Structure 1
Amino acid sequence: MHEKRFDPTLISRLDNPERRKKLPPEPLLALLELKGSEDILDVGAGAGYFTFPAAEKTSGTVYALDAQSEMLDYLLSRLEESEFDGNIEIVQGEAEQIPLDDQKVDAVICSMVLHEVEPLDQGLREIRRVLKPGGRALCIEWEAVDTGSGPPQAHRVSSTDMARILEETGFKVLDTRPWTEAFYSIVFQK
């Protein structure tokens, strides 16, 4: 596990009522303007915070990608206890080398994970590779301010820098907004 990666022993922090108040998945997913049949990649799926709500919004496949087997084991146990009929597929892999075919998905979710990706531009190129032309992605990240919790400030990427890096990687930034003092979202398109 590299120094930026989330500690899987803290998985309970990924899906709790306080986080749901600050970052409610449904209004964030609405920013993607899903039509209901998209294939979606959830990069850094963790406990499935966005995986399960995304699967409710599409008849397509939701690929839950995570690099850590502990996270995927937890997600698999949640999946087995759920009533989902097979539209969630668990995938182990890194954001820097996504094990999916080119132009495989219509949408990508990157929640609190891009600050862990090294190098960031490689991870973004991979997201671009797996997105279909015109596909949209949602980035939710920690703003580069001292919030008293979360990753060290040195690991964070400000919303301004993230928008610039996305555009330098060939994406079109469609929407940037703060959700709290600590979190922002950016919707971008291939």
Structure 2
Amino acid sequence: MKHHHNHHGEAGFKRKVDYLDRPERKELLSPAEFIQAMPINKTDTILDLGAGTGFLTIPAAKLVDNTVFALDLDSKMLELIQKKALDADLTNVEVLEASMEEIPLEAGSISIALASLVLHEASSLMDVLSEVNRVVKVGGYFACLEFDTKGTDLKGPPMEIQISAEKLERELGKVGFELVKNWELAEGMYVSIARKKRETNRE
């Protein structure tokens, strides 16, 4: 019996949106600062993985003239992003209802991929990183915000699904990315920025 899965419907969706769009989130890390931590050009094409409410999509679309793809499994989140893009007079936002493990984009079509607090939700980190590696061109970037609350009294997602900065760097290395920057934020979060240095042969 699947038909009642939407019982928290609108209220649940609104709560999620309010949480994702809360002002403190911008104070912790401003979206523009996050995106501009990499060399960014007007001609770049950007992919926002697990885009949610467009926290990164909308600021990214203001920084480039090319397309910013917002990928999410939640069609309502994508509708919200489209509305925000419309309100901001942005015509370069395109939404993709898809999973991070199967990105519906061509190989080497993305200059910068972004993932804010979504990697730990993936069933397979390697699958996601392999897909990121496939769609990002050589010399392109992957920027990620994640939780690592080990050794702190901060609450994040369950410890067993958290991805430490070391683990992320190791796994990125396996798919051809080299870490260029890593810094810690408050609330047990960190940012890692990696550059794709080569193609990897996928078996």
Task: Output the TM-score relative to the length of structure 2.
Answer: 0.85
User: Corresponding residue for 1:113?
Assistant: 118
Task: Determine if the alignment matches structure 1 residue 74 to structure 2 residue 80.
Answer: yes
**Computing the radius of gyration over CA atoms, which structure comes out larger, 1 or 2?**
2
Aligned to 2:56: 50
Cα RMSD, aligned residues only: 1.7
In the TM superposition, what is the alpha-carbon distance from 1:181 to its structure 2 partner?
4.4
Equivalent residue for 2:27, pick from 9, 13, 21: 21
* Aligned residue identity for 2:102: Q
Distance, in Å, in 2 between the alignment partners of 1:181 and 1:82 is 30
Tell me the residue number matched to 1:38. Answer: 44
- Unaligned 5+ runs, structure 1: 2-6
With a CA cutoff of 8 Å and minimum separation of 6, indicate the structure with the bigger relative contact order: 1
CA contact (8 A) 2:110 2:136 kept: yes
Change (3 A) 1:13 1:134: same
Q: Is the 8 A contact 1:32 1:137 kept in 2?
A: no
In structure 2, what residue type is equivalent to 1:10?
A: K
1:174 corresponds to 2:172: no
Secondary structure of 2:113's aligned partner: strand
C-alpha contact 2:46 2:69 (8 A) present in aligned 1: yes
- Kindly report which structure 2 residues correspond to 1:100-179, keeping only aligned pairs within 5 A, or say none: 100-145=105-150, 148-179=154-185
Q: Deviations over 1:73-117 (max 9, x none)?
A: 222222232211x11111111000001111111111111111111
Task: Answer whether contact 2:108 2:135 (CA < 8 A) is retained.
Answer: yes
Identity %: 32
8 Å CA contact 1:137, 1:189 repeated in 2: yes
For 1:75 and 1:151, how far apart are their aligned partners in 2?
25
* CA positional deviation for 1:149: 4.1
Amino acid at match of 2:177: F
Partner of 2:201: none
Size of the aligned set, in residue pairs, is 184
